[in-house]
Chains A and B, each alone.
Chain A
Amino acid sequence: MEKKIMLGNEAFARGAFEAGVKVISSYPGTPSTEVTEAAAQYDQIHVEWAPNEKVGTEVAVGASIGGARALSCMKHVGLNVAADPFFTAAYTGVTGGLVLLVADDNGCHSSQNEQDSRYHGRGAGVPVLEPSNAQECKDFMKYAYDLSEKYDTPVLMRSNTRISHSRGIVTVEERQERELKPYEKNIQKYVAMPAMAKKLHVAQEKRLNQIEEDSKDFPINRMEINDKKIGIITSGICYQYVKEALPNASVLKMGIINPLPKALIKEFAEQVEEVYVIEEGNPFFEEQIRAMGIPAKGKGMFTIQGEYSANMIRKAFTGEAPECVPAQEDAPGRPPLLCAGCPHRGLFYILGKLKKTVMGDIGCYTLGALPPTSAMDACLCMGASITMAHGFEKAKGKEAARDTVAVLGDSTFFHSGITGLINMNYNQATGTVIILDNRITGMTGHQDNPSTGKNAKGQEAPAIDIAQLCRACGVEHIVEVDPFDLPAVEKAIKEETAREELSVIITKRPCALIVKQPDIPHVITDKCKNCKMCMDIGCPAIELENGKPVIAAERCVGCGLCKRVCPFDAIEEEVK
């Protein structure tokens, strides 16, 4: 059997492939995105980008009813969007195996919160599995489909940044093709209306109890009895940290984390002197284990914040600190920036200059909130720019809308911005929405979306015209501008915000990472009067040297935005 180095996410995709999965529908979200991208390489699987996680999950449910094994992947906050179908699919159960993969982001590497999705699994009443390395990502995925079909339930596969974005050696196997399960109309099972739902809820409780009872024999749980003084109950990445820090401790490694394998936990607790629970995030295991009457220690020793590490666990148990040069606290931070050549930079420069109140959204452009542009006032969740701007106007009156804009990207608009725009029109808002159309889903690493003309497999697909769509939502005033045409951007923002009617501005310029700029570095000539206007755009290629701005040739992509800002014509293309 062949061994390969795989990203955790690639291993999940491989597991789905080997398990015979036929349909995958997901919305990109760090750290889950690469599962769907990697799966798109397999010809045997229909893989698609859905406009949001709710759509993706419903597509997977439909595929399961149709008898296929199906998957939908999302980041933790995406599961909130998908929670509606998820909680009821937990009642109806499945025909073909159904797995939802959710990747949490302990440490907020690329997210707006540290939500602990294990509670969603428990709340919905479905089995939740959690792997601890790339090999397990693949193996658990296959096991999840067997569980799903055996117990007639969706399964939640829980990952996080560290599992999804670590690489390890994985043994790959062949795909097992599966015949579609025959479709049989079953109103009692699949029509979730009150009379049926009451019965379905009973059935769901029963199967969850059955899973809990059977889970003591699941091969994905493992008891490792060593030194009996310390007994640690853990799962996922924390298992690896524990093995690194305390190689002699006894460990109960849980592969299923909802329902908890209580019989195993009891058996383990009886064998060791002290029980400790090590889990990142909230005391999800600890509270349940303590409720079983086991005096387990956990969050009294460890935090609910951020990621854990082997050093942290070692220190808690042995007091040992690593021998090293102290961390240099005075090292200035290096926050992420809009890339050199980024089309969003022009817009945020003008928004900062006009001092508008900016309701922001989720995407690369959230970086517009950072200095020097600092052109954002709020950012909450996907699509909320439009709805927050609407609420702001309704609270403060029409005058406030003259100084306020909503800013969101093309993909975010399709995700859940469009419903907000329909609401604005319906409820007679007078605000201005700016849609940044860079022809791609940028932040998550360039996935196609309904307006790019390509699908998840890179094939041609129908492209939706954003302006037409806005028109159909009842917006009469729609302006399209090039965000690098600064006078046009300024004019559009001034005119549209002044107008006491709903309007949409669409800034059109492709992401600098997909359509390459001329790549002729620019230089600042001796015409420079050191006014530092070019510094206000926050370009990573421009820095101060002896108090004067200079352009670092190796970082400049030649987009020329600085040249457009310079009032003294002091910036030129480099002459070779």
Chain B
Amino acid sequence: MKDINILIVGVGGQGTLLASVLLGNIALEEGFDVKLAEVHGMAQRGGSVVTHVRISENEVRSPLIEEGGADVIVAFEELEAYRWISYLKKDGAIFVNTQQIKPMPVIMGTAEYPAEIVKFLNDNAEKVTCLDALGIATECGSIKAVNTVLLGAMAKELPFSKETWIRQIEKTVKPKFVELNKEAFEKGYQA
């Protein structure tokens, strides 16, 4: 298996952590080395958050993915996709939740939210998948399932079977939310 670098970006409070927990457990079960790096602290308070996941058959050295190094970027928000696009490998895939959360400088009118981010991404990256994960999650019954929808979409790009993912969801998510998350994963997978 070739090394896999996955960058998960979003806004504090969007539930970006679940994806990295699942990926870490999958890598461990399949016998790979894995490192995960996340930003804590002030970023929990609605700031820009990023999680790095690195999986390899060999020893993973740096816990960080760097510019031009991500095979997959999962962006929970459009501006965050735009902010982190330089981290995508030339032939990497980016999955974007087409939701916009305006940062305070934009709300205050001191900065502008970049126009036509989706077009920019399509013009600059080879594999771009945009989906309304918030809408899909709402259909499934909870806006909190945005992360699982995106996970489903990304899963197609990774060399782990769907069953492996579902099994990890069953192990990780609270029992009463398992069905909802399985549905959200499936819808993301089909998107």
A residues within 8 Å of B by Cβ?
3-5, 30-31, 109-110, 133, 161-162, 165-169, 237, 240-241, 243-244, 309-311, 322-328, 330-339, 364, 367, 370-372, 443-445, 535, 538, 540, 542-544, 552, 554-555
Contact = CB atoms under 8 A, between A and B. Distances in A.
A110 B49 CA distance: 13
A233 to B, nearest CB: 17
A371 B110 contact: yes
Contact of B48 (A167, A334, A338): A334
A89 B112 CA distance: 54
A165 B11 CA distance: 18
Given A169-B28, A325-B85, A325-B88, A333 B111 contact: yes
Given A241-B62, A333-B105, A367 B45 contact: yes
Contact of A162 (B44, B63, B113): B63
A183 to B, nearest CB: 39
A447 to B, nearest CB: 13
A324 B39 contact: no
B107 A331 contact: no
A389 to B, nearest CB: 24
A331 B83 contact: yes
A335 B103 CA distance: 7
A323 B45 contact: no
A165 B20 CA distance: 13
A251 to B, nearest CB: 11
Given A167-B35, A330-B114, A331-B82, A336 B47 contact: yes
Given A322-B68, A324-B68, A325-B125, A309 B35 contact: no
B98 to A, nearest CB: 14
A554 B143 contact: yes
A538 B106 CA distance: 12
Given A30-B40, A167-B35, A331 B90 contact: no
A162 B83 contact: no
B2 interface: no
B79 A322 contact: no
Given A31-B40, A162-B64, A166-B35, A336 B45 contact: yes
Contacts of B63: 133, 162, 166-168, 237, 240
Binding site secondary structure of chain B: mixed
Interface in B54-102: 60-64, 66-69, 79-80, 82-83, 85-90, 101-102
Contacts of A4: 28
A364 B12 CA distance: 14
A444 B42 CA distance: 8
B86 A166 contact: no
Contact of A167 (B24, B69, B87): B24
B34 A331 contact: no
Given A310-B66, A327-B85, A332-B113, 16 more contacts: A240-B61, A309-B66, A324-B68, A325-B124, A328-B114, A332-B105, A333-B103, A334-B83, A336-B45, A337-B47, A339-B13, A367-B42, A538-B104, A543-B106, A544-B102, A552-B101
B38 interface: yes
B33 interface: yes
12 contacts: A165-B38, A169-B28, A309-B62, A310-B66, A323-B90, A331-B82, A334-B83, A335-B47, A335-B103, A335-B105, A367-B45, A540-B46
Given A336-B43, A367-B45, A543-B107, A331 B114 contact: yes
Interface residues of B, number: 58
B134 interface: yes
Contact of B104 (A5, A337, A364, A554): A337
A133 to B, nearest CB: 8
Contacts of A3: 28
Contacts of B106: 332, 543
B105 A339 contact: no
Given A334-B11, A336-B46, A165 B40 contact: yes
Contact of B28 (A5, A166, A339): A5
A327 B62 contact: no
A31 B43 CA distance: 12
Contacts of B33: 168-169
B37 interface: yes
Contact of A110 (B40, B108, B134): B40
Contacts of B89: 324
A535 B108 CA distance: 8
B112 A332 contact: yes
Given A5-B28, A5-B36, A338 B64 contact: no
B25 interface: yes
A127 B7 CA distance: 37
Nearest to A364: B45
A110 B42 CA distance: 6
A166 B114 CA distance: 32
B41 A31 contact: yes
Nearest to B102: A543
A169 B60 CA distance: 10
Contact of A310 (B62, B90, B103, B107): B62
Contacts of A30: 40-42
A552 B36 CA distance: 31
A544 B104 CA distance: 11
Nearest to A540: B46
A78 to B, nearest CB: 14
A166 B37 contact: yes
A332 B114 CA distance: 8
B130 to A, nearest CB: 17
A372 B112 CA distance: 16
A244 B47 contact: no
B12 A336 contact: yes
Contact of A244 (B62, B83, B86): B62
Nearest to B49: A334
B66 A311 contact: yes
A167 B17 CA distance: 12
Kindly name the residue among A4, A31, A554 whose own CB sees the greatest number of chain B CB atoms within 10 A: A554
Nearest to B90: A323
Given A5-B28, A31-B40, A335-B104, A240 B62 contact: yes
Interface in B108-140: 108, 110-114, 124-125, 134
Pick the most buried of A165, A243, A326: most chain B CB atoms within 10 A of its CB: A165
A382 B60 CA distance: 38
A5 B24 contact: yes
B36 A327 contact: no
A544 B100 CA distance: 12
Contact of A443 (B42, B64, B143): B42
Contacts of B101: 552, 555
